[in-house]
Amino acid sequence: TVTHVHGERVSVRAAGGSELMAYVYAPDPDPFESRKPYAHPLRTLGGRTVTGYRPNDHRWHKGLQMTASHLSGQNFWGGN
């Protein structure tokens, strides 16, 4: 089942109801938080989470993210 909460996230659930993936595209309220879309949690069909969210050594990392550091003169890396 795919559920879209407009302006916030898209979630995918398995037939049994467990969430397999959430794609979050709502911007973080804090501009220092590397404001870009991310997928978290990502889970296997067995329920094991395979992504991390804000690990201690890289607090700005959120699940699976893609980025271009600079594109057409704009900084898309995030942070200050």
Residue 51 is predicted with a pLDDT of 95
Question: In the chain, what are the domain boundaries?
Answer: 1-80
Report the predicted TM-score, pTM, of the whole model to 2 decimal places: 0.76
Rounded to whole angstroms, the Cα distance separating 80 from 4 reads 30
Q: Are 64 and 42 in contact (CB under 8 A)?
A: yes
Residue 71 is predicted with a pLDDT of 78
Q: Which ranges in 1-80 belong to alpha helices (H)?
A: none
Amino acid found at 6:
H
Q: Are 53 and 64 in contact (CB under 8 A)?
A: no
Give 12's strand partners.
Answer: 2, 21
Rounded to whole angstroms, the Cα distance separating 12 from 55 reads 24
Block means of pLDDT (10 residues each) for the chain, length 80 residues?
96 93 88 82 94 88 82 71
